[in-house]
C-alpha cells in the first residue's frame, strides 16, 4: 500500500499529551475564573455565512480569512469570537435580556504568515458584558478584577493591568487640532521605550506637528507617579475639551471601582500610551503584562465599545470585553519555562499486575475510580521494567503492584514514583492517601 505522509499543517498547534494536560489545566482555570464572575457560556459555530462574518471586516483581516463554498453557500471560519457574539446577540436580543454577560473559549482561524509562535488556529478566551442602550462604567472596572483573579489563579504574582481611556487620547488630540494625525502620532509614541524621547519628538515633528503641540503631547505622555498622582496631573493639564473631561471622569471612576473590587494597587496602572485598535474601542482600554516576561507583550487585552452589533441591528448595544490569545500565550510561557500549573498527568495511580491473574487489579482499579481517583491499569504482557517506564513516561506519580501475595493479604504495595517511598496498604488506606 502506498503510504501518505502523516503531517500536520504549519501554524496549527498539536501538543504531546503531557503538554496537552498542562494546556487543558490552564484553559480550565481561565474558564473557572470567568464563571466565578457569573459569565454565561456560549459555543457558537466555527463556520458562519461569509456575509455575516465579514459584515464589518476589511483589509488585512479579510485577506486572512478561511473562506470557501460548500454547494452554493459562501462560508467562512470565524477569525475571532466577537463577531459571532455580535451576530448571536442581534439574533437573540429579545430572548436574552440585558445586561448579557457571556464567556466563550474556542478556536479561531487566521491564515497569517506562519512563523514561530504565531498560529493559524488558536484559542481565544473571551468575556464580554453587553448592555441595552447603556452600560454602567462599573463594568469597566470589573474587567481588571477578572484579569486579576484569572492570572492569580494561573499562578502569576507579578503582573500589571494597564488601563487607559480612548476619550482622553481623542480629547487631547482634538484640543491640539491633531485629530487627523492622531493615528500616526500614537504609532510613533508606541515606540518610545525602544527609540527614546528625542527620536519620538523628531518623528512627530516630521508629521508637521507644531512645537507647541509636540510639547503638549510629551507632557501628557510622560506623566508619571502612582495612579492617583497621574490622575491629578491629568487634571492639572487644564485641557479644555469635553471628550477629554468625560474620559478623565471615566478613568477616575474606573480606578475607584477597581479598588472596590479588591484589586491591589500594585497590580494595575494607568498607562496613557495604550490606544488599542483605533476604530473599535471608544472608552476604557486594557493591556496586561507579566512583568517577569515583558517580551511576551500584552497577554490579555480589550476595552469598551459603543456598539457591538451595528452591522446587524439598529439596537444600540454598548459593551466591554477582554480576550486572552491562549494558544500563543501557552506556547510562549512553555518556551520561557513559565507554566505554573502543577499537574502534568491525568492518572493519579498506575496499577501494575505482576502476572496474568488480572481480576484483582481490575477490582482494585474500579474501587479507586469510584472514589474519584484517576486510575490506569497496565494490561499488556510485558517485563516489569517496561511497565514502570509507562508510569514514568506519563508522569503517573503512584504505582500499585499486585501479585500473588497482594491477592492473598489484600494489602497492596503503593509506591510513590517521586519520593520512592513504598507502603503496604489496604484499598481503603490507599484511597485515603491518594484522595485530593
397's grid cell: 506519580
Cβ-proximal residues to 406 (8 Å cutoff; 6+ apart), any chain: 360, 412, 413
Q: Shortest distance, CB of residue 412 to its own copies, whole angstroms?
A: 16
Q: Shortest distance, CB of residue 229 to its own copies, whole angstroms?
A: 22
Instruction: Give me the 385-424 binding string for its own copies, x by CB under 8 A, dash otherwise.
Output: ----xx--xx-x----------------------------
Asked if residue 331 binds its own copies (CB under 8 A), the reply is no
Q: Coil, strand, or helix at residue 19?
A: helix
32's grid cell: 473557572
70's grid cell: 460548500
Taking alpha carbons only, the member of 384, 413, 323 closest to residue 80 is: 323
Taking alpha carbons only, the member of 294, 256, 272 closest to residue 144 is: 256
Total chain residues near its own copies (CB under 8 A): 102
For its own copies, the closer CB: 66 or 280? 66
Asked if residue 115 binds its own copies (CB under 8 A), the reply is no
- By CB under 8 A, what part of segment 155-174 binds its own copies? none
| Strands 398-402 and 100-109, bridge-based pairing | unpaired
- Choose which of 58, 262, 337, 420 interacts with its own copies (CB under 8 A): 262
Q: Shortest distance, CB of residue 55 to its own copies, whole angstroms?
A: 4
Q: Shortest distance, CB of residue 189 to its own copies, whole angstroms?
A: 32
Q: Shortest distance, CB of residue 248 to its own copies, whole angstroms?
A: 20
- Mark the segment that binds its own copies (CB under 8 A) among 17-25, 204-212, 243-251, 295-303: 17-25
Q: Shortest distance, CB of residue 224 to its own copies, whole angstroms?
A: 28
Q: Shortest distance, CB of residue 416 to its own copies, whole angstroms?
A: 17
Q: How far apart are CA 409 and CA 115, in angstroms?
A: 59
377's grid cell: 491499569
- By CB under 8 A, what part of segment 212-251 binds its own copies? none
Asked if residue 55 binds its own copies (CB under 8 A), the reply is yes
- Choose which of 29, 57, 121, 267 interacts with its own copies (CB under 8 A): 121
Q: How far apart are CA 269 and CA 94, in angstroms?
A: 38
- Mark the segment that binds its own copies (CB under 8 A) among 154-162, 311-319, 334-342, 417-425: 311-319
For its own copies, the closer CB: 141 or 204? 141
Please state, as a whole number, how many other Cβ atoms lie within 10 Å of the Cβ of residue 74: 13
Q: Shortest distance, CB of residue 122 to its own copies, whole angstroms?
A: 10
- Choose which of 212, 314, 385, 418 interacts with its own copies (CB under 8 A): 314
Q: How far apart are CA 24 and CA 13, in angstroms?
A: 13
Backbone angles phi, psi at 61, to 5 degrees: -55, -50
Asked if residue 326 binds its own copies (CB under 8 A), the reply is no
Residue 174 burial (10 A CB sphere; 0-12, 13-18, 19+):
middle
Asked if residue 9 binds its own copies (CB under 8 A), the reply is yes
Q: Shortest distance, CB of residue 217 to its own copies, whole angstroms?
A: 34
406's grid cell: 497482594
- Choose which of 186, 346, 411, 417 interacts with its own copies (CB under 8 A): 346
Cβ atoms of residues 176 and 213 within 8 Å:
yes
Asked if residue 70 binds its own copies (CB under 8 A), the reply is yes
Q: Which helix (H) or strand (E) holds 107?
A: strand 100-109
344's grid cell: 502534568
Backbone angles phi, psi at 411, to 5 degrees: -115, 130
Taking alpha carbons only, the member of 316, 323, 324 closest to residue 135 is: 316
- Choose which of 60, 72, 94, 95 interacts with its own copies (CB under 8 A): 95
| Strands 349-353 and 398-402, bridge-based pairing | parallel
Asked if residue 330 binds its own copies (CB under 8 A), the reply is no
Asked if residue 377 binds its own copies (CB under 8 A), the reply is yes
Asked if residue 297 binds its own copies (CB under 8 A), the reply is no
139's grid cell: 463594568
| Cell 468625560 -> residue | 246
User: DSSP letter string over 18-60?
Assistant: HHHHHHHHHHHHHHHHHHHTTPEE----SEEEHHHHTSS--HH
Asked if residue 347 binds its own copies (CB under 8 A), the reply is yes
For its own copies, the closer CB: 29 or 175? 29
- By CB under 8 A, what part of segment 195-214 binds its own copies? none
- Choose which of 62, 80, 112, 138 interacts with its own copies (CB under 8 A): 138
Amino acid at each position: 500500500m502506498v503510504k501518505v505522509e502523516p503531517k500536520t499543517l504549519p501554524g496549527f498547534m498539536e501538543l504531546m499529551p503531557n503538554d496537552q494536560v498542562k494546556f487543558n489545566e490552564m484553559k480550565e482555570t481561565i474558564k473557572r475564573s470567568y464563571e466565578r464572575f457569573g459569565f454565561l457560556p456560549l459555543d457558537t459555530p466555527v463556520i458562519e455565512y461569509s456575509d455575516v462574518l465579514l459584515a464589518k471586516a476589511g483589509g488585512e483581516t479579510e485577506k486572512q480569512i478561511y473562506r470557501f463554498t460548500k454547494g452554493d453557500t459562501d462560508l467562512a471560519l470565524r477569525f475571532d469570537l466577537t463577531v459571532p457574539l455580535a451576530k448571536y446577540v442581534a439574533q437573540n436580543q429579545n430572548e436574552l435580556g440585558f445586561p448579557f454577560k457571556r464567556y466563550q473559549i474556542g478556536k479561531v482561524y487566521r491564515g497569517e504568515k506562519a512563523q514561530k509562535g504565531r498560529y493559524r488556529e488558536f484559542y481565544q478566551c473571551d468575556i464580554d458584558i453587553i448592555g441595552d442602550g447603556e452600560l454602567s462604567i462599573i463594568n469597566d472596572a470589573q474587567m481588571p478584577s477578572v484579569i486579576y483573579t484569572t492570572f492569580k489563579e494561573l499562578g502569576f504574582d507579578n503582573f500589571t493591568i494597564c488601563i487607559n481611556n480612548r476619550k482622553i487620547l481623542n480629547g487631547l488630540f482634538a484640543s491640539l487640532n491633531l485629530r487627523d494625525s492622531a493615528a500616526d502620532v500614537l504609532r510613533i509614541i508606541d515606540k518610545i521605550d525602544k527609540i527614546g524621547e528625542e527620536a519620538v519628538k523628531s518623528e512627530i515633528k516630521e508629521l508637521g506637528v507644531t512645537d507647541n503641540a509636540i510639547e503638549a503631547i510629551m507632557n501628557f505622555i510622560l506623566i508619571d507617579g502612582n495612579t492617583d498622582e497621574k490622575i491629578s496631573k491629568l487634571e492639572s493639564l487644564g485641557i479644555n475639551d469635553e471628550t477629554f473631561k468625560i474620559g478623565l471622569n471615566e478613568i477616575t471612576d474606573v480606578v475607584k471601582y477597581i479598588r472596590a473590587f479588591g484589586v491591589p494597587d500594585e497590580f494595575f496602572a494607568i498607562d496613557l500610551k495604550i490606544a488599542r485598535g483605533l476604530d473599535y474601542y471608544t472608552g476604557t482600554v486594557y493591556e496586561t503584562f507579566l512583568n517577569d516576561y515583558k517580551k511576551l507583550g500584552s497577554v490579555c487585552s480589550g476595552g469598551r465599545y459603543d456598539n457591538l452589533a451595528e452591522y446587524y441591528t439598529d439596537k444600540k448595544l454598548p459593551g466591554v470585553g477582554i480576550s486572552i490569545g491562549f494558544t500563543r500565550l501557552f506556547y510562549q510561557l512553555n518556551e520561557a519555562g513559565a507554566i505554573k500549573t502543577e499537574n502534568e498527568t491525568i492518572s493519579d495511580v498506575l496499577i501494575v499486575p505482576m502476572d496474568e491473574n488480572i481480576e484483582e487489579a481490575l477490582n482494585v482499579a474500579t474501587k479507586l475510580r469510584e472514589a474519584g481517583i484517576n486510575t490506569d491499569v497496565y494490561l499488556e504482557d510485558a517485563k516489569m521494567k517496561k511497565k514502570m517506564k509507562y508510569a514514568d513516561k506519563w508522569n503517573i506519580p503512584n504505582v500499585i503492584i499486585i501479585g500473588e501475595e497482594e491477592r492473598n493479604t489484600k494489602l497492596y504495595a503503593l509506591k510513590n514514583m517521586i519520593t520512592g517511598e513504598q507502603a503496604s496498604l489496604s484499598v481503603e488506606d490507599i484511597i485515603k492517601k491518594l484522595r485530593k
